């Protein structure tokens, strides 16, 4: 059963520290999405990639967030420096070349103290 | 861009009753409408979807209807069970221009009482 994987599952850090979240999309999927979920804002799209190229990162605060796909099996989302308002669950989702369905990873729960 | 609105934000039903969640969208070019179920602490999971070339799709106890003229679509759950309790999200996409980007509604917290 192919699934999107994310690490770490939980991260507690102090304000000002760097945070890196990783995502492994389903093998063969060429589109990767990063979402942030909070009670207040719901599911927000931060950035997405197709064939490793960034398509849209307008949902990301550019001064502190960055997203990359170093290879087809790894996507990363980095926050530097982290702030308490970044506390949220961050989901990665992947999509296949032939379809529009998106499949979500288990998420990374980030707490910034 | 696309704007998806979802109602109600919370819904409580008795076990065995039906539940209906409604969404509207703004972009007439949208042609793909999935529904996701998210249990507490879990990932959103795709439960059913519909494309703009059909008006209704069923899968056991769940069904989705689409009215392209009015730009709204609905999720229907019949014979609800306590395990249906979750947050449900609707979404819309125009795969051609947005390359698979989904625009999500704010979610509906469904509670099914035994």
Decide if B7 touches A, using CB distance below 8 A. no
Burial class (CB in 10 A: 0-12, 13-18, 19+), B95: middle
**Residue B58 has what pLDDT?**
96
Nearest to A55 among B43, B46, B99 (CB): B99
**Residue A112 has what pLDDT?**
97
Decide if A20 touches B, using CB distance below 8 A. no
Nearest to B46 among A48, A55, A101 (CB): A101
Residue B88 has pLDDT above 70, yes or no: yes
Please answer whether residues B32 and B99 qualify as being in contact, where contact means their C-beta atoms are separated by less than 8 angstroms: no
- Strands in A74-79's sheet, in edge-to-edge order, are A5-7, A19-24, A74-79, A65-71
Residue B97 has pLDDT above 70, yes or no: no
Q: Which residue of A has its CA nearest to B30?
A: A100
Please report residues of B whose CB lies closer than 8 A to that of A101.
34, 46, 49
Residue B94 has pLDDT above 90, yes or no: no
User: CA nearest A80: which of A60, A101, A54, A52?
Assistant: A60
Decide if A55 touches B, using CB distance below 8 A. yes
Q: What is the pLDDT of residues B16-59, one digit of tens each?
A: 999 999 999 999 989 999 999 999 999 999 999 998 888 999 99
Residue B41, min C-alpha distance to chain A (Å)? 9
Please answer whether residues A82 and A22 qualify as being in contact, where contact means their C-beta atoms are separated by less than 8 angstroms: no
DSSP state of B82: G
User: CA nearest B31: which of B79, B68, B56?
Assistant: B68
The C-alpha R_g of chain B, in whole angstroms, comes to 14
Q: Which parts of chain A have pLDDT scores under 70? A: 1, 99
CA distance A7 to A21: 6
Q: Which residues pair with A42 in a beta bridge?
A: A38
Please report residues of B whose CB lies closer than 8 A to that of A1.
none
Greater confidence, A58 or B96? Answer: A58
CA distance A13 to A103: 28
Please report residues of A whose CB lies closer than 8 A to that of B34.
100-102
> β-pairing, B72-77 with B19-25?
antiparallel
Decide if B49 touches A, using CB distance below 8 A. yes
Task: Collapse the DSSP code of B95 into the 3-class scheme (helix H, G, I; strand E, B; otherwise coil) and give the result.
Answer: helix
Task: Tally Cβ neighbours within 10 Å of residue B16.
Answer: 11
CA distance A78 to A68: 9
Please answer whether residues A47 and A31 qualify as being in contact, where contact means their C-beta atoms are separated by less than 8 angstroms: no
Decide if B40 touches A, using CB distance below 8 A. no
- The fraction of chain B above a pLDDT of 90, given in percent, is 84
Burial class (CB in 10 A: 0-12, 13-18, 19+), A78: middle
> β-pairing, B10-14 with B108-113?
parallel
Interface test with A, best of B2, B3, B86, B102 (most A CBs within 10 A): B102
Please answer whether residues B113 and B17 qualify as being in contact, where contact means their C-beta atoms are separated by less than 8 angstroms: no
């Amino acid at each position: 059963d192919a699934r999107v994987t994310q690490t770490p599952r939980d991260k507690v850090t102090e304000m000002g520290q760097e945070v890196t979240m990783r995502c492994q999309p389903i093998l063969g999927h060429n589109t990767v999405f990063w979402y942030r979920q909070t009670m207040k804002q719901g599911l927000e799209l931060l950035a997405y990639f197709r064939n490793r190229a960034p398509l849209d990162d307008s949902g990301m605060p550019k001064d502190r967030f960055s997203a990359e796909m170093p290879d087809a099996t790894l996507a990363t989302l980095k926050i530097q420096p982290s702030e308490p308002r970044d506390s949220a669950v961050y989901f990665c989702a992947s999509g296949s070349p032939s379809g529009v369905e998106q499949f979500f990873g288990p998420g990374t729960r980030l707490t910034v103290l | 861009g696309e704007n998806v609105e979802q109602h109600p934000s919370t819904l409580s039903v008795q076990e065995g009753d039906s539940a209906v969640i409604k969404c509207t969208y703004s972009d007439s070019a949208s042609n793909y409408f999935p529904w996701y179920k998210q249990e507490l602490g879990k990932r959103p999971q795709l439960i059913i979807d519909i494309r703009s070339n059909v008006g209704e799709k069923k899968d056991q106890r769940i069904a989705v209807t689409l009215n392209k003229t009015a730009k709204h679509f609905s999720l229907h759950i019949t014979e609800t069970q306590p395990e249906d309790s979750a947050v449900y999200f609707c979404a819309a996409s125009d795969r051609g221009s947005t390359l698979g980007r989904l625009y999500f509604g704010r979610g509906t917290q469904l509670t099914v009482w035994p």
